[in-house]
Every structure is written in structure tokens, then in C-alpha cells.
Amino acid sequence: MWKQFIGKLSWKSMKSSSGGGGGAGSPPAKPPPPPLPSPRENGAAGKPSGSPTSPAASAGAEVRSREDAFVQKVNICCAVYDFSDRGRDSLEKERKRQMLMSLVDCIGAAEEPLTETMIAACVRMFAANLFRVFPPKVRSGTTASETEEDEPFFDPCWYHLQVVYEFLLRFVTSPLVDAKVARKYVDNSFVSKLLDLFDSDDPRERDCLKTILHRIYGKFMGNRPFIRKAVSNIFYRFVFETDHHNGIAELLEVFGSVISGFAKPLKEEHKLFLWKALIPLHKPKSVGVYLPQLTYCITQFIEKEPKLSGTVIRGLLKYWPVTNSQKEMMFLGELEEVLELTDMAEFQKCMLPLFQRIASCLNSSHFQVAERALFLWNNEHLFDMISQNRQVILPIVYPALERNTRWHWNQSVLNVTMNVRKMFHDMDERLLLACQNNFEEEEEKRAATEERRRLMWEQLERSAARGYHQPVIAADVSFPPPPSSARLVAPTVT
């Protein structure tokens, strides 16, 4: 492959050198004999002057020619064209694409390591082709669903960018690229600009970036702290400022594999990343777009350190939706996955606020939310923990179950509620009867309070009606008349 590069560059010099000759008036004569070697050139012993070139010098010349040919091609690929007009500069675009493809094949079949000059030229070419400012996003006035992405946008220059990304991936994964040398050029500035590309509207570009970022994180270990910090800043900006970013799902997918490689016990930095960066991602309306990747990252943390399950549950309760039923169903699904990894000690720390929230979901007028909350009792691990803590949990959820059996409008919710009530009956009948008696007492108190409130409002309405038809003015409430000597003076305008 390198010989092809060298051959393309050297044939012109050979052609130009073959046309040289003598002066115009020189007579035809035989070429003069070669001069005799001087003693200084051959030494005292008169050694012949035609000594062969040393192997080191020839190897250095070959490396320089290989390097020059490679850098020349890379520099040609630094030219940037406008792809919005397909007919413009079509020949130059195709020529550049062919050169990029040849560079991709070259770096894949190379047997000698790339020099520092070649690495610098490659990084410069990546920056020239990839780093760009995206046009401003024009959003429609309609509100999209929380679980659906916007209509995908396909970049017209992807036909060209795809080869550049393929070259970058080969460059990062190649064993012939020395990480210590490349670290000088694949620095924090390069990585920061690469992370900015995750906001691209083209899903194909984000998919390529996802693979490349994962490879960079694995190869350039010195960049790992900066990558974690930069991604955290992207999450902060998305949650608390912009509320819009196209690449959150891809970044979370990369960090899912990164978190699985964290060593035990977890560092404090990693725990802060969970609490300050991952858990607040439940706040935006578009959480459904990246919820599977987010749930995977969170469960990876819990598998590494089970004590973090209580922190995650409290975070979910903090950002629990109040008026968004679709988002509430997604939270219930994630909550079940977290509870499957929760041990008894952490469960007991947060079961009071947890089941207060679940009881509220049981009485939801949205039948899918109520049904999804009732399905939590089908989880064997959760049912076992509930049965061991039934003295605390049943008094919290029994009023919600009883209200469903009496007043819920959906027959499916009513049937599942009866099944859950039967589970508690089989679990502890005496406790269930005690909760039932307590519920009846509370209902009687509530009915009496409602009756007193109704009678009070009726009395107020009757009093208001009498006061309207027969006005009564108290003497102490009447206002004194103004003095007769006082004159109304219009305010002067200065």
C-alpha cells in the first residue's frame, strides 16, 4: 500500500529527469570516461569510490518518502466542500472520497507504525471535516410525545462523512497508532469538540460517534476523567437549561459499558455522577426517549454497590411525575427493576414514602397507572419483602385498595385489586380485619366532617340570601359625611 503511494508521487520526477541533455553547440562525442578516484576520496589505500548506500540511510529515505506520500494525501482530504448543492464540485468531491477510501484501506493493511507527523496530519484532517456548527433547530409549535423522537434528519454530506468516521475509527483502534504519541493531538479540546457532535440531528452520525467515543475512552486512559466531566456537563445543561439534546441516549449507552467496568468499591466521584448527573435525567419530559439506557446505567451502579438502591429510590420519588400518566407508568416500570436489586435493609429505609406513592398510584383515575401499580405484587422478590413488612405496608395501601373495590370505574383494575386484597387476606387475616375496621372508622369520621361542612355552607348561603334581600347597616359601620366647607380641588400637573 505504501509502495502505491510512493509510485504515484515519483513517476513525475522520473519523467522530467529523462529529458535532460548537453548544450546546443556541443559536438557529438563519446561520453568521457569516469574520473579517476582521488586519494582523499578513497583513503590512503586507494579504496574504490562506488561504496553502496548504508541500509540505515535507505530505510530512513523509504520512511520519509512513505510519510510524505501519506501526509500529501491527508492534506488533500482537508479540503471542505458544500454538499447542499450536489452538482457543485462533483469531480473534486468524488476524488476526495476515493482518497479517503484509499487511506482507510491503507491504515487497515499497514504493517509499520504511523509516525508523529502522520498522526498529526490525520487529527488535523478529522478536525477540518467533522467539527462544524450545526444550524439552529426549528421546532414546531406542537408538543411531541415523551416517548417518541422527532422526525430524523439525514445530513446530505453523510455520504462523505461516513468515510471520514470510518477512517477515524480505524485510526483509534489501530495498534500501529501509539497512544502516547497520539495523546498529544487527541487532547481535551479534540474530545470536547467530538462530544459536541452528539447533538447532530442525523442518527447515523450519532451511532458512529457512540462507537468512536467508546474506543477513545478505552485507548486514551488519560482522557477518561475529562470525558466523564464533559459528559456530566452535557447532562446538566440538558436538564437545567436547554431541555433538548439529540444524543443523550447514545451517551448513556456508552456510559453503560463504562460503568460496568468500574472497580469495586466505587469511588466517591462515581457516586456523585449517579446522584448529580444520572438521577436528574428523570426530570425532562422526553425521558422516554432514553429511559432504557438510563435504567441500565442505574442498575449497573446498584449491582456494583447494593446500598445505592435506597439513593436511587429516593431520587425517583423526588422527580416522580404528578400530572403525566404516561411518564408515571415508565417510572413504575423502572421502580420494579430497581426493587428487584434491593436488599431488605435498604428496602426498610425507604418503604414508608415509597408505598405512600404507590398507594397514590393505586387510586389513579388513569386505569393503566393503577393497573401497573397493582402488578408490582406479581414480582416474587417484592412480594416477599412486602410480606415480611406487612405490619407497616398494609395500613398504608389498604385504604387505596378499599376505595378501588368500591368506586373505581375500570373493571380490570377492580379485578386485580380484589386479587391483591386476597393476597393480604391469605397473608395475615387478622391484620387485614384490623385495617378494615380502622378504614371504616376513618370513613365515618370523614362522612361526619363532610356533613358538618355541608351544613355550614348551607347556613352561610341562607345568611347571605337574607342579607341580600334585607340589607342591615350598623351604626358603627357607617362612614361620616364629608364637611360642607371642603372643596374638591383637581390635582395640578407639574
pLDDT in tens, 41-57: 444 444 444 445 555 55
Q: Does a structural domain hold residue 260?
A: no
Of 298, 385, 309, 373, which Cα lies nearest the Cα of 341?
A: 309
Is 14 or 7 the better-scoring residue by pLDDT? 7
Whether residue 40 has pLDDT greater than 70: no
Q: Does a structural domain hold residue 17?
A: no
Which contiguous run of DSSP H or E holds residue 353? Answer: helix 344-362
Q: Which of 24-38, 106-120, 208-222, 298-312 has the lowest mean pLDDT?
A: 24-38
pLDDT band at 482 (very low <50, low <70, confident <90, very high): low
Integer CA distances (angstroms), 367 to 58, 183, 207, 491, in order: 81, 56, 37, 65
Q: Is the Cβ–Cβ distance between 112 and 176 less than 8 Å?
A: yes
Is 493 or 361 the better-scoring residue by pLDDT? 361
Task: Work out the burial of residue 324: count CB atoms within 10 Å of its CB; fewer than 13 is exposed, 13-18 middle, 19 or more buried.
Answer: middle
Per-residue pLDDT tens for 372-430? 999 999 999 999 999 999 999 999 999 999 999 999 999 999 999 999 999 999 999 99
pLDDT averaged over the chain? Answer: 84
For position 202, what pLDDT does the model report?
92
Whether residue 278 has pLDDT greater than 60: yes
Q: Is the Cβ–Cβ distance between 439 and 402 less than 8 Å?
A: yes
Mean pLDDT over 264-290 rounds to: 95
Per-residue pLDDT tens for 248-257? 999 999 999 9
Helix 203-219 and helix 224-237, axial crossing angle in degrees, nearest 10:
150
How many C-beta atoms surround the C-beta of residue 254 within 10 A? 23
Instruction: Give the DSSP letter of residue 468.
Output: H
Instruction: Give the DSSP letter of residue 45.
Output: T
For position 476, what pLDDT does the model report?
46
Counting runs of H as helices and runs of E as strands, what totals does the chain give?
A: 21, 0
Domain range enclosing 160? 67-133+155-186
Helix (H, G, I), strand (E, B) or coil at 202: coil
DSSP secondary structure letters along 255-280:
HHHHHHTPPSSPPHHHHHHIIIIIGG
Cβ within 8 Å of residue 439, ≥6 positions away: 398, 399, 402
Instruction: Give the DSSP letter of residue 75.
Output: H
Whether residue 466 has pLDDT greater than 50: yes
- Please tell me the distance from the alpha carbon of residue 491 to that of residue 494, in angstroms, as a whole number: 9
pLDDT band at 82 (very low <50, low <70, confident <90, very high): confident
Whether residue 473 has pLDDT greater than 80: no
Which cell numbers in the block locate residue 137? 433547530
pTM above 0.85, yes or no: no
Mean pLDDT over 187-192 rounds to: 96
Instruction: Give the DSSP letter of residue 239.
Output: I
Q: Does a structural domain hold residue 353?
A: yes
Half-sphere exposure (CA, 13 Å, Cβ side) for 164? 24
Q: Does a structural domain hold residue 365?
A: yes
Q: Does a structural domain hold residue 301?
A: no
Mean pLDDT over 221-229 rounds to: 95
Q: Does a structural domain hold residue 48?
A: no
Of 112, 118, 16, which Cα lies nearest the Cα of 73?
A: 118
For position 484, what pLDDT does the model report?
52
Q: Which of 81-90, 132-141, 248-257, 293-302 has the lowest mean pLDDT?
A: 132-141
Q: Domain ends where: 147, 169, 186?
A: 186
For position 207, what pLDDT does the model report?
96
Q: Does a structural domain hold residue 227?
A: no
For position 93, what pLDDT does the model report?
87
Which cell numbers in the block locate residue 295? 435504567
- Please tell me the distance from the alpha carbon of residue 365 to that of residue 403, in angstroms, as a whole number: 12
Our count of domains for the chain comes to 2
Q: Is the Cβ–Cβ distance between 377 and 420 less than 8 Å?
A: yes
Cβ within 8 Å of residue 205, ≥6 positions away: 155, 158, 161, 165, 197
Q: Is the Cβ–Cβ distance between 301 and 261 less than 8 Å?
A: no
For position 53, what pLDDT does the model report?
52
Of 156, 189, 171, which Cα lies nearest the Cα of 100?
A: 171
Residue identified by cell 419530559 is: 285
Strands (E), 323-396: none
Of 301, 314, 407, 293, which Cα lies nearest the Cα of 356?
A: 314
Residue identified by cell 397493582 is: 374
Q: Is the Cβ–Cβ distance between 306 and 265 less than 8 Å?
A: no
Q: Is the Cβ–Cβ distance between 262 and 270 less than 8 Å?
A: yes
- Please tell me the distance from the alpha carbon of residue 406 to that of residue 402, in angstroms, as a whole number: 6
For position 108, what pLDDT does the model report?
83
Helix (H, G, I), strand (E, B) or coil at 229: helix
Whether residue 7 has pLDDT greater than 80: no
For position 469, what pLDDT does the model report?
52
Cβ within 8 Å of residue 88, ≥6 positions away: 81, 82
How many C-beta atoms surround the C-beta of residue 220 within 10 A? 20
Q: Does a structural domain hold residue 475?
A: no
